[in-house]
Structure 1
């Protein structure tokens, strides 16, 4: 089974989606609530898949100074996981190691593959609410024959990165990460495959992709990520075309 390492920050102000308050109508508190909603949907998808869930959390010292509280990051994330899943007994929690995201992701993947003999490891973050159980299982099937399986996102990003062998992870997750990760895998002599492209959330611009897709799936009576959909509904988020400029904008209905 693939170990799905979710690199996640505790859901507190100053962590997760820090660019949203300045690029969208969402406040800092609301951006934090959205991050937690996406995290809940993600871990639920992983829990329902054939993968093993590992929550890879920062230490207090790795958090921005204004985001440090008296609560341990692991304890805060563990509480959310316990509240979200029916049975969280098999969920692993491990601290992140490294000074950048690429270093932390690379250290996690390399350790699991080399030291724990994991057959495959995937790196994900609470960045897309649309990573479903079926998508995770489809990626695991592809990892039986590919060295790396990548999930493309907008702006050259990557919403899922699975590996069966370590690669050179130095700065590999810096955008355009989907290109860099593919090139590094090929440089190491490996094969690359892909799963479906999905939008990710970092800035308000990203919500112009996420919110309409979420509302479209709801209108079509298809499965939607429950916690994220609830957040969007309760905050009245929608995307409209500006009559004057023709640009799409995120609004509150």
Structure 2
């Protein structure tokens, strides 16, 4: 069984998805709401799969001072998981350890593989709403024969990074993480394989790519990520091409 660690921040206004708020019609509150929707969909995808859900949360002192609240990050994310899944019995919650995303992800993977003897560990961020149960299970199957499995996302990022052996994680998720993680795996003498590419939800360009995919799935009556799709529908988000170029509008 693969332990799937979702590294998430509490979806607070001005803390998460700030690039979306700066470059799209979404307000900072709406961008945080979209981040929350994507987090819920990531939790659902892992819970419905054969993987073990681990929510990796920051401690309060890891957050910028303006975004610390009476409710701790753990309590906030725990409440969201309970509301999404109808309880938290199937989820583990552990604090993030490290000064950067690479350090936190690397510490989680290395600890679980070396100290808890996990067969495989994957790092997922709640920014790829099209992540699904079938993709999580397909990744787990690949990890039975391949030591590193990566899910490519936009701009060289990864939405999924799975391992059966630790690699050198120093700065591995910075810059074009896809290239760095693949190279670090190869440097360690490990086999590397890839999943299908999925868009992220971090910038205006990401949203321009994601909205049409969601609306196409609506039209074709195919499976959509429940919470992200509901957000797009409720806020009337669409993409148009006109004399002003390709842009996001509210229907």
Shorter-normalised TM range:
over 0.9
Corresponding position of 1:141: 141
Deviation string 1:141-182 (CA, Å, 9 cap, x unpaired) is 000011100000111111100000000011111121111100
Alpha-carbon distance between aligned partners in 1 of 2:97 and 2:163, rounded to the nearest angstrom: 18
**Displacement after TM superposition at 1:65 (Å):** 1.7
CA root-mean-square deviation: 0.9
**Displacement after TM superposition at 1:200 (Å):** 0.3
Corresponding position of 2:106: 106
Alpha-carbon distance between aligned partners in 2 of 1:113 and 1:240, rounded to the nearest angstrom: 46
Corresponding position of 1:121: 121
Aligned pairs for 1:3-22 within 5 A: 3-22=3-22
- Tell me the SS of whatever aligns to 1:19: helix
Q: Which 10-residue stretch deviates more, 63-72 or 113-122? A: 63-72
- Tell me the SS of whatever aligns to 2:214: helix
Corresponding position of 2:246: 248
**Displacement after TM superposition at 1:87 (Å):** 4.1
Alpha-carbon distance between aligned partners in 2 of 1:83 and 1:45, rounded to the nearest angstrom: 15
Asked if structure 2 preserves the Cα contact closer than 8 Å seen for 1:14 and 1:66, the reply is no
Alpha-carbon distance between aligned partners in 2 of 1:168 and 1:219, rounded to the nearest angstrom: 44
**Displacement after TM superposition at 1:66 (Å):** 1.4
Alpha-carbon distance between aligned partners in 2 of 1:32 and 1:15, rounded to the nearest angstrom: 8
Deviation string 1:214-242 (CA, Å, 9 cap, x unpaired) is 11111111000111111001111111113
- Tell me the SS of whatever aligns to 1:6: strand
Q: TM-score, normalised by structure 2?
A: 0.98
Q: Does 1:51 align with 2:54?
A: no
Deviation string 1:188-223 (CA, Å, 9 cap, x unpaired) is 000001111000011122100111111111111100
Asked if structure 1 preserves the Cα contact closer than 8 Å seen for 2:128 and 2:159, the reply is yes
Corresponding position of 1:97: 97
Deviation string 1:15-63 (CA, Å, 9 cap, x unpaired) is 2212111111100100011011111111011000000000000000111
Unaligned runs of 5+ in 2: none
Corresponding position of 2:163: 163
Corresponding position of 1:25: 25
Corresponding position of 1:207: 207
Corresponding position of 2:82: 82
Corresponding position of 1:220: 220
Q: TM-score, normalised by structure 1?
A: 0.97
Unaligned runs of 5+ in 1: none
